[in-house]
């Protein structure tokens, strides 16, 4: 059949350009030491930034809720899937983040698509940072509205584009912490520029919440900004919370609009209650076990000092994401494979996740790592350099 040979041709093209993705089978929990395809590795490729995915209290909360509620939630939130556990989690998050209301979504991808499409009926244009997460871009595609992609973190480019739509309702969208390089959006300027232009601001802080700020409230807290600086804040539970799912924080009218009009909220099964219960415990722990954030910060500084003294070219980032830019995808893949041969797992980022010619190694540090493991990482990075 013609279609099959075309598909095969496209797949072969990916392999040829070193862009084909492969999966590896892990047989141990998400911990700094893991077994993948039968071999032991140091894992620098997980987003479990605070090491909560295996916290005994989080696991116990999950087990207890599963005993009480069973496994599946049975239906979407608007039918019969919404439990007291979900409801309490939303209220806890609203208090933690200082927003009037929070809505829990089944994944971050769906939260981003859901917010943008639900608002689209009232919005004429969407502005997005060029390096925004794919789920935000996909939200815009489904929204059928003009998309203005401004230069990465360039407030002058954003301003110039905003000026072309001065009378239209618009939404400005940015990652809080960019997911490949770990750099922060210039949130104070972004908020001011957006609001001066009379537009709404949506920030996806998937990599900021839990990690940044004294109590882990994320990018806003890092910049000491009030909640009103960002109209719509998205966060995910699959990263620093160590669980699964996502949330949107906003005011009453926006959250109620999402509840009514987000198809990715309405037409999907609610998160299992046990996941919500585990996440509620993670939310407590990320506030009380402050040592996790402190230890992570110390490891970040330790890695950077080590990398600098060894002459490794890394992209400076104050977050758990540390990026070493390589450029060519085949070279990046080769570096990743050589690290794997030395027992180190990092993520190899290639197009379409990155811009063309910006392939990189994405190294993530977590509160579960130890200094000696970072030493080993640096040793192997230098050998492969
Ligand atoms: C991981 C991530 C998402 C998607 O969240 P999931 O819950 O994994 O679907 C969205 N945005 C950003 C910036 C992310 O890093």
Burial of 325 (0-12, 13-18, 19+ CB in 10 A): middle
CB 214 within 8 A of CB 256: no
pLDDT digits (tens, 9 = 90+) for 349-370: 999 999 889 999 999 999 999 9
206 lines ligand 1 (CB under 6 A): yes
Q: Which two tokens stand for residue 164?
A: 């072309």
Closest-CA residue, ligand 1 atom 4, reads 108
Q: What does the pLDDT profile of the chain (385 residues) look like in tens digits? A: 799 999 999 999 999 999 999 999 999 999 999 999 999 999 999 999 999 999 999 999 999 999 999 999 999 999 999 999 999 999 999 999 999 999 999 999 999 999 999 999 999 999 999 999 999 999 999 999 999 999 999 999 999 999 999 999 999 999 999 999 999 999 999 999 999 999 999 999 999 999 999 999 999 999 999 999 999 999 999 999 999 999 999 999 999 999 999 999 999 999 999 999 999 999 999 999 999 999 999 999 999 999 999 999 888 899 999 999 999 999 999 999 999 999 999 999 999 999 889 999 999 999 999 999 999 999 999 987 7
Closest-CA residue, ligand 1 atom 10, reads 108
CB 206 within 8 A of CB 234: yes
- Whole-angstrom distance, CA of residue 241 vs CA of residue 121: 33
145 lines ligand 1 (CB under 6 A): no
Q: Determine the distance separating the centroid of ligand 1 and the alpha carbon of 47, expressed in angstroms.
A: 10
Pocket test for ligand 1, best of 105, 114, 140, 179 (most atoms within 8 A of CB): 179
- Of 163, 125, 127, 169, the residue nearest 144 (C-alpha): 125
DSSP state of 122: T
279 lines ligand 1 (CB under 6 A): no
Q: Which strands sit side by side in the sheet containing 359-364, from one edge to the other?
A: 321-327, 359-364, 347-349
175 lines ligand 1 (CB under 6 A): yes
238 lines ligand 1 (CB under 6 A): yes
pLDDT digits (tens, 9 = 90+) for 272-304: 999 999 999 999 999 999 999 999 999 999 999
CA atoms within 13 A on the CB side of 240: 28
- Whole-angstrom distance, CA of residue 109 vs CA of residue 105: 9
Bridge partner residues of 327 (DSSP): 359
133 lines ligand 1 (CB under 6 A): yes
Bridge partner residues of 185 (DSSP): none
DSSP conformation letters of 34-71: EEETTEEEEE-----TTS-TT-HHHHHHHHHHHHHH-S
| Nearest atom of ligand 1 to the alpha carbon of 135 | 10
- Which residue bears the tokens 């004429």? 124
Burial of 257 (0-12, 13-18, 19+ CB in 10 A): middle
């Amino acid at each position: 059949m013609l279609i099959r040979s075309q598909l095969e041709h496209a797949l072969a093209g990916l392999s040829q350009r070193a862009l084909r993705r492969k999966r590896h089978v892990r047989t141990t929990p998400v911990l700094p030491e893991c077994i993948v395809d039968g071999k032991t590795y140091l894992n620098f490729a997980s987003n479990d930034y605070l090491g909560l995915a295996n916290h005994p209290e989080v696991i116990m909360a999950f087990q207890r809720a599963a005993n009480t509620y069973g496994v599946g939630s049975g239906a979407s939130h608007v039918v019969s899937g919404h439990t007291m556990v979900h409801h309490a989690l939303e209220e806890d998050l609203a208090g933690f983040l200082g927003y009037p209301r929070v809505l829990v979504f089944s994944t971050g991808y769906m939260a981003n698509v859901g917010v943008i499409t639900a608002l689209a009926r009232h919005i004429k244009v969407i502005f997005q940072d060029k390096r925004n997460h794919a789920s935000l871009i996909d939200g815009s595609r489904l929204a059928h509205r003009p998309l203005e992609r401004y230069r990465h973190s360039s407030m002058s480019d954003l301003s110039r584009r905003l000026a072309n739509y001065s009378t239209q309702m618009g939404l400005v969208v940015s990652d809080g912490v960019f997911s490949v390089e770990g750099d922060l959006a210039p949130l104070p300027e972004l908020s001011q520029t957006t609001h001066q232009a009379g537009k709404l601001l949506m920030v996806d802080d998937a990599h900021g919440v839990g990690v940044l700020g004294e109590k882990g409230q994320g990018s806003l807290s890092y910049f000491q900004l009030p909640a009103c600086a960002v109209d719509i804040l998205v966060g995910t539970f699959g990263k620093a919370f160590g669980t699964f799912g996502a949330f949107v924080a906003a005011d009453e009218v926006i959250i109620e609009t999402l509840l009514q009009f987000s198809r990715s909220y309405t037409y999907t099964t609610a998160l299992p209650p046990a996941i919500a219960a585990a996440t509620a415990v993670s939310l407590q722990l990320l506030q009380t076990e402050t040592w996790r954030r402190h230890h992570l910060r110390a490891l970040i500084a330790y890695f950077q000092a080590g990398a600098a003294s060894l002459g490794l070219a890394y992209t400076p980032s104050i977050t758990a994401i540390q990026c070493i830019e390589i450029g060519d995808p085949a070279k990046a893949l080769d570096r990743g494979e050589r690290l794997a041969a030395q027992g180190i797992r990092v993520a190899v980022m290639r197009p379409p996740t990155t811009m063309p010619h910006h392939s990189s190694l994405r190294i993530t540090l977590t509160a579960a790592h130890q200094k000696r493991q970072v030493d080993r990482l640096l040793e192997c990075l230098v050998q492969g350099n």
